[in-house]
Amino acid sequence: MSESKRLAGEKAIEYVEDGMIVGVGTGSTVAFFIDALARIKDRIKGAVSSSDQSTARLRQHGIEVLDLNATGPLSLYVDGADECDPHKRLIKGGGAALTREKIIAEASQKFVCIVDPSKRVDVLGKFPLPVEVIPMARSLVAREIQAMTRGQPVWRQSADGAGVVTDNGNVILDIHGLAIVDPVGLEQAINQIPGVVSVGLFARRPADVVIVGGEPPIVL
Ligand code: 5RP
């Protein structure tokens, strides 16, 4: 599994062009991409990061991390996913970084998604759908999503039993038991609930390219 992730991360380097500012996602697959990016760091202007975790890794490698407000639109965003369907629509947010990931994906001309083969599905929803929520709205949003989808919202806890807090100071609800037949519709509907910051469905803005790690990697 980790070898597939490494192969996907390394393949994505082919999309990096000289002088680029590269949007960088979050997760174990992206960590391999960051390590590969470090080898060509003198050819790029810097990176825009989707999480404190990725920022730390980029800086460890001496890659400058820039503010999206200062860079303007990006040419390229590279990120992983928890699930990917045949239309390159994704579930993301297993690493709780979905909101900043969505912002950078929206700001980018090309979104290259890097996954291992286990992430490919026909219908999204077996992986619990992450939703980032303002803390005071947690119960309200859980009730509304349950009524809307019949899925089961679960407040994400960290290993020490405390509620996970995102880089933006919010909480995560993971919606279990979904089979998402209309990802664009569900993304819009969940986004309408007051208190929802963002939902980890990337359907309105799917990936443009999906690299499935393997020997050789498959490019979809
Ligand atoms: C983080 C994400 C990640 O891209 C997703 O969870 C995949 O992670 P990994 O590459 O570790 O399997 O969306 O919020």
pLDDT score recorded for residue 63 = 98
pLDDT score recorded for residue 16 = 98
Residue having the nearest C-alpha atom to atom 8 of ligand 1:
27
DSSP 65: B
Nearest by Cα to 173 from 187, 152, 204, 149: 152
Rg (CA), the chain: 17
Q: How many helices (H) and strands (E) does the chain have?
A: 7, 13
The residue whose CB lies within 8 Å of the most ligand 1 atoms, and thus the one to mutate among 6, 10, 24, 30, is 30
Using pLDDT thresholds of 50, 70 and 90, give the confidence band for residue 209: very high
- Tell me the pLDDT of the chain averaged across its residues: 98
What mean pLDDT is predicted for residues 71-80?
98
The residue whose CB lies within 8 Å of the most ligand 1 atoms, and thus the one to mutate among 7, 53, 92, is 92
Q: Which of these is catalytic: 101, 132, 144, 187?
A: 101
What mean pLDDT is predicted for residues 143-162?
96
Domains of the chain as residue ranges with CATH: 2-121+204-219 (3.40.50.1360), 129-200 (3.30.70.260)
**Dist CA 154 CA 183 (whole Å):** 20
Which atom of ligand 1 is nearest to 115's Cα? 10
79 is in an annotated binding site: yes
Whether 31 contacts 58, CB under 8 Å: no
Share of the chain above pLDDT 70, in %: 100
- Other C-beta atoms within 10 Å of 185: how many? 13
pLDDT score recorded for residue 96 = 98
Which atom of ligand 1 is nearest to 114's Cα? 10
Ligand 1, pocket residues at CB < 6 Å? 25-29, 79-82, 92-98, 101
**Distance set, CA 215 to CA 90, 103, 151 (Å):** 23, 32, 37
For residue 177, what are the contacts with CB-CB under 8 A and spacing of at least 6?
125, 150, 151, 152
Using pLDDT thresholds of 50, 70 and 90, give the confidence band for residue 206: very high
Whether 96 contacts 156, CB under 8 Å: yes
pLDDT score recorded for residue 83 = 98
pLDDT score recorded for residue 74 = 98
Q: Is 101 noted as a catalytic residue in this protein?
A: yes
pLDDT in tens, 16-44: 999 999 999 999 999 999 999 999 999 99
Q: Is the pLDDT of residue 1 over 90?
A: no
pLDDT score recorded for residue 125 = 98
pLDDT score recorded for residue 217 = 96
